Amino acid sequence: LVRGMEVADTGSPITIPVGPETLGRIINVIGEPIDERGPVNAKHTAPIHAEAPEFIEMSVEQEILETGIKVVDLLAPYAKGGKIGLFGGAGVGKTVLIMELINNVAKAHGGYSVFAGVGERTREGNDLYHEMIVGGVIDLKGDKSKVSLVYGQMNEPPGARARVALTGLSVAEYFRDKEGQDVLLFIDNIFRFTQAGSEV
C-alpha cells in the first residue's frame, strides 16, 4: 500500500476460509494460502472480527488439560479453557514444547491445534512447518493433519502482523463452536504482536 492508491470498498470485513480444509495448510492474514499447494477450498468462511461469546456460554467447570508431558502435568498443570504463557530465552525449547503439545493433544484427545506465527522470521516459520511434517502432525498426502498454520511474518506490514492473531482465532473458533472440538491456539510471539500494534 502506498499513499494515493485507489481502493475499493467491499462493504464486508476480512473473511477467511475455516474448517477441516485449513488443516495442514499455511494461510496469511487474509486467508490466502502461502504454502504453494493450491487454493484452500473451504466450505465455510468467517470474518476475523467477531463478537466474544456471552459469559453464560462459558463453562464453569475446572478441568486439567492432560498434556502427556509429565513434568508439565505434575508441576505446572494447564487448565482447560485457560491461557498459558511460555517464557524463555532464544533456543531453550519453547517451539519444541509447542510441537510436543500439538502432537500429544492430536494423539491423546483427537483435538486440533491452530498456530498463529506473528512476526516470525521466514526461516523460523519454514523450520516449524517441516518439523511438523516430519513429526506427523501435518500429513501432506492424506487428511490426517491436526494443525492449521497462520503466518504473518517479519516482512509483512505491521497492520497484517497485528491481525494475524485474529485470523488464527477465527480458525480456532470454528473448530470449537461448529465442530465441538478441543482446540489449542498458539500465538508465537506475543511481544511481536504488541510491537506490531504499537507500530500501527
CATH number, span 21-48+94-199: 3.40.50.300
Distances (CA, A) of 137 to 141, 159, 195: 12, 30, 30
**Model confidence over 98-146: pLDDT tens digits?**
888 888 888 777 789 999 999 888 888 888 899 888 888 888 888 889 8
**What does pTM read for this prediction?**
0.89
From the candidates 21, 66, 94, 100, give the one annotated as an active-site residue.
94
94 assigned to active site: yes
The pLDDT assigned to 132 comes to 86
107 annotated active-site:
no
Please identify which of the residues 37, 80, 107, 121 carries the catalytic annotation. Answer: 121
Q: Give DSSP secondary structure letters for 86-145.
A: ----TTSSHHHHHHHHHHHHHHHH--EEEEEEES--HHHHHHHHHHHHHHTSS-SSSS--
Question: Which amino acid is it at 80?
Answer: K
CA distance 77 to 94: 16
Q: Is the peptide bond before 155 cis (omega within 30 degrees of 0)?
A: no
Domain boundaries, the chain: 21-48+94-199
Distance CA 124, CA 14 (A): 26
Tell me: the pLDDT tens digits for 17-67? Answer: 999 999 999 999 999 999 989 999 999 999 999 888 888 887 788 889 888
Burial of 63 (0-12, 13-18, 19+ CB in 10 A): exposed
Is 178 catalytic? The answer is no
Q: What are phi and psi of 78, to 5 degrees?
A: -95, 135
Beta partners for 16?
Answer: 46
